[in-house]
Chain A
Amino acid sequence: MAGILEFAPAIVLLPFLSFLIALGAGRYMPKGGALAGIGATAGSFALSVATFFAVSGGQNYNQTIYTWAEGLDAVNLTFGLLIDPLSAMMLVIVTLVAFLVHVFSLGYMNDEGETGLPRYYAGLGLFTASMLGFVVADNLLMAFMFFELVGLCSYLLIGFHFRQDGPPSAAKKAFLVTRFGDYFFLIGVVAVFATFGSAAFAGPDAFPVLAEEALHGEHSVNTFLGMGEQAWFTVVGLLVLGGVVGKSAQFPLHTWLPDAMEGPTPVSALIHAATMVAAGVYLVARMYGFYVLTPTTLAIIALIGGFTALFAATMGVVKKEIKQVLAYSTISQYGYMMLGLGAGGYVAATFHLMTHAFFKALLFLGAGSVIIAMHHNEDMWDMGGLKDKMPVTYYAFLSGSLALAGIVPFAGFWSKDEVLYETLIHGLGGSPILLAAYAMGLLAVFFTGFYTFRMVFLTFHGEPRSGTARDPHGVRWNVKGPLAVLGVLAATAGLVNMVPVEKLFGIKGIDFLHQFLDGSFSSLNAHHYAELMPYSSGYIGGETGTVAIGAAVSLGLALAGAGLAHRLYNVPEPVEHTDKLGGIKTTLYNNYYQDEYQVWIATGIVQPISRALDKFDQGIVDGVVNGLSSVSLFAGGRIKRLQTGVVSNYAALLTLGLTALIIGLGLIGGWFA
């Protein structure tokens, strides 16, 4: 199986190299090290594409590269690579977005005369390398380590402008909130090791496989707290899910993400589309074979996803800054992916992960372009009428918006529809929780359409509402190029998995992504997951009917939302309509007081406990330690007094000491008998 897959480590190492170059020699290089990053990500992208085709051709790769701790109670800790369709797809997405973000940064950072560029490009390089390392990880511990590296890099990049007030605080918040989730993840990793003795994703020792065998009674595992296997697996799954909820900004740990908008916009694109936030969902997909065994966890994932999708979408409706709207849309869209995973739609969720990566990167880069044009003013109420001034940005942004809103035939429509469809049929198959989650997801479609087009209309349509909007700053090829590429992808990426068309018109074999994902190891492919799934399907008016109804309802809601936005905001002089919301408006502006209650938990509950512990530490622990040292010093002082300086004293003490030893040893040895 030698071939292109043998070069897979280079995909990770190239951006790492660019990190080292930018860090060490960036200041001596033109463009502050950008070229190294561009070269490295371009190389990684080329390799990823080659890998992708090799995997399409049926090759898979699962290899331990390095064992760094061996034989600790029969647990080996290793680094290794797992290249299967899922990771190959993700590699292409991450390297492509990273490459485009690097190019875009030339326009956003270099052309705008930012300082500290080597630090910036070093951060981007390490960020990309960490995410790629996470994607190809072949075991949970390695995944965890790179997961943490991703978190660290996001901290470094969000806080890039560390001299201002906002970014360092936002960076800290992102770091701490995701770390809260990662605590549970870490315990989960340990629990997986303790339970299965292995944390591999694939191969004979893969823990999902062991878990499956354990549930069938073919293999015994260690469970704890007196739980049965099923219950214990649920606990383990939920622990790992903690990390996912933090990283993928799901309710209730989503609060860091809107603040993270303080980072440079290309970084936001990277975080939201391809790296940080995607890591959480990707992790669930990676170990889906484990989650699919525990119906409770799946239901919780689906509920969290559905609720987050709706919850975040409603908050996006009232935001003023263009990046804030996008931030809430990200939370909401990842909610859809979680909904899809929780509802048994592995392919659907992965599909949405892919399309979202393209259109969200596009929207952020588009927003970045607008921000350059607006001289770094992000308030949409100061914009307006930009569509004639910057047509490339406008059409690309429009393509992304149509995809986000889920308008046929743009990418988002296909993937979102499939997520909702999977939820619906499995809900109808006898799972009321999924139906509730479906309802929330469906409602969120309306809000998505509304806030998306509110954003588009406020930014690009109508009359310019400020001086800068009348005379925007131009952008160069390095901004337009990435936008054009992503614009095309946002429009067309959905065509790789047109399930509704397949079902409605009976054209077989156009669900390419599904077939592609089926090409993995037997324990990691979509087919296997479908067999394990605890849900059954139900239909309204047959399969075709359900497809048609589902698609029509979600499209209708999206159009309704867009239409309402059109009515309210696509006018020459739009005004704020938020007052009509009354009391809800304040709640929405304050993001449902999520930050406030979390701060209250921190200051009202955690702080008093910490104080009490501090008292214990200062009083009792330190007291004992200080006491010991005073005793030592006191004893030392006494001993010092023995050393009188008078030789005859010494001789006496010496003789006495010798005598004591003689008597002691003599008594034990029986010399005096």
Chain B
Amino acid sequence: MTPLQTAPEWTAAAPAIILAVTGLALLLIDTIDPDTSSNGLLAGLSTLGSLAAGGVAGWFLTQGTGMESSGGAITLYGDALVIDGMSLFFTLIFTSVAAMVSVASYDYLAGRRYQGEFYSLVMFAATGMTLMAMSNSLATVFVSLELASLPSYALVAFLKKNRGSIEAGLKYFLIGALSSAVFAFGISLVYAVTGTLLLPEIAANLSVSSDLVGVLGLGVLMIAGGFAFKTASVPFHFWAPEAYEGAPAPVSAFLSSASKAAGFAVAFRVFTVAFPLGPVTSLNGGGVDWSLLFAVLAVVTMTLGNFAAATQENVKRMLAYSSIGHAGYALIGLAAITTDGGAANGHVLGASMAHLLVYGFMNTGAFLFIAMVEKWGLGRTFADYNGIASKAPIAATAMTVFMFSLAGLPPFGGFLSKYFLFLSAIESGFWWLAAVGAVNSALSLFYYSRVVKAMWIEEPSEPLEIGSQPVGLYVAVIFAAVGTVLLLPGFRPVIETAQTVAAALF
């Protein structure tokens, strides 16, 4: 008997509530003392809030809240929200990224105005992401997605005096608006066909007459488009390189790790719960083979991301494209689902989730390292990174860990997560997807190792000057690096949890 079973049901949404309350508290502090210079308080509070939410999610996960062992998923508010293993797992990703970003922002934002707004926006975005992972109805999906997106637009444009930041924010917003429109249109079409917004009920009402199959298909595809925007997948990826490059680096870290994971969380749930592959591919007079759709998107996305990353001269932009490439890998989780997959479906989806968790650490760490370089006032290109290792060996070691882990080399977490992802894709019979993924990984090693080479081997053209040793950034980067390394030996519980909670969706 766990104490949770006697607690009121709404407490199951505690992670989201904690994040929202933290965001409000930050606003409150900001209202009382708008010109506060106590950055430490704000950063500390938002870190604490993220950690508390993450801690609760982790505790729930170990206690089995919303999982088979304690009576199955908990639904709230007329089934609009669902708390199960998957939502908790993703909450863990969002909160750990939010915590790292908050710690790192302590230094990044030092001396800037509007700090209170910054942290509360991060918290609200995190709340939105958590709700995305919990959404059980297309209405909550849309609302939470907007709740995550709107603060993100503001965060990207946070450097108000910086033209790049403003431009990136505007582009992000415009593409986001277009995508939201497509998404909302898709939802309306699905509602028109099935007469409901609740995901399980959509699945129950799929047996439509043959002349409505096209409408349903259009709706499903447009919904997929909304998710493709959030996950930065082709063809909705155009905002990503610009937004990631122009945004403050901690925000890029937040968007490319947490926001992307949120997009996957909701996509996984909507497609496996509302549109089970078996029924939707064998409708009257047609079908909607979204597995094929995602297979195509996965291949195109990972290939485009990696090819474009290979030609970049700007490290941050390279990471932005690599982030698109990783979205392609994660899409394998949906692409490799088959109608008669059984346990293999859960395996590949779980492997994709585990990869997103590891990715949350290594990619956040990489962007935070860039934040550190920006803080030092060094340039943005590969050549500007020359010789950093001689001045900041610890940070450079951490960055090396991130790069090799992103490339999927042992002995780092990224190796195992990618390995399991490709392995379970092969298990599902999608060996060609795994092969494309492996070829892309090999290509990615080229541009990741360029960073390592620049840092450790190349000589700087002029003497490097590194001013401060930003404590918060160091802590966050080292935390991410330790996480990346520890996720290799500790990968077994992660993958087992992920595959168990993923299997519960089918």
Contacts and interface: CB of A to CB of B under 8 A. Distances in A.
B68 to A, nearest CB: 33
B287 A669 contact: yes
A2 interface: no
Nearest to B222: A658
B304 A657 contact: no
Contact of B218 (A632, A645, A668, A671): A671
A654 B236 contact: yes
A519 B241 CA distance: 79
Contact of B175 (A650, A658, A662, A670): A650
Contacts of B241: 643
Interface in B339-368: none
B288 interface: yes
Contacts of A662: 217-218, 221
Contacts of A666: 214, 217-218
Interface residues on A, range: 20 to 34
B30 interface: no
B171 A636 contact: no
Contacts, number: 92
Contacts of B184: none
Contacts of A673: 210, 285-286
Interface string B286-301: 1111001100100000
Contacts of B218: 662, 666, 671
Interface string A408-426: 0000000000000000000
Question: Does more than half of chain A's interface fall in helix, strand or loop, or is it mixed?
Answer: helix
Interface stretch (B14-22, B78-86, B306-314): B306-314
Contact of A633 (B225, B287, B296, B310): B310
Contacts of B238: 643, 650, 653-654
A506 interface: no
A666 B214 CA distance: 7
A665 interface: yes
Nearest to A637: B311
Given A632-B443, A651-B174, A662-B218, A657 B311 contact: no
B278 interface: no
A635 B239 CA distance: 20
Interface in A594-637: 629, 632-633, 635-637
B234 A657 contact: yes
B174 A669 contact: no
A651 B171 CA distance: 10
Contact of B286 (A633, A636, A651, A671): A671
A666 B285 CA distance: 12
Given A650-B171, A654-B235, A640 B213 contact: no
B214 A639 contact: no
B310 A665 contact: no
A395 B235 CA distance: 92
A636 B289 contact: no
B394 interface: no
Tell me which of B217, B241, B293, B304 has the highest count of chain A C-beta atoms within 10 A of its own C-beta: B217
A670 to B, nearest CB: 4
A664 B221 CA distance: 11
B446 interface: yes
A629 B293 CA distance: 28
A186 to B, nearest CB: 26
Contacts of A68: none
A427 B285 CA distance: 91
A553 interface: no
A227 interface: no
B504 interface: no
A171 to B, nearest CB: 31
B242 A665 contact: no
18 contacts: A636-B310, A636-B311, A637-B311, A651-B174, A655-B178, A656-B235, A657-B235, A658-B182, A662-B218, A666-B214, A668-B292, A669-B213, A669-B287, A669-B288, A670-B213, A670-B285, A671-B286, A673-B210
The 10 A-B residue pairs with the shortest CB-CB distance, nearest first, are A657-B235, A671-B214, A670-B286, A636-B311, A650-B238, A636-B307, A639-B308, A636-B310, A671-B217, A669-B287
Given A670-B285, A672-B214, 16 more contacts: A632-B307, A636-B311, A639-B308, A647-B170, A650-B171, A650-B175, A651-B174, A651-B178, A654-B175, A658-B222, A662-B217, A662-B221, A665-B288, A665-B293, A669-B286, A669-B288
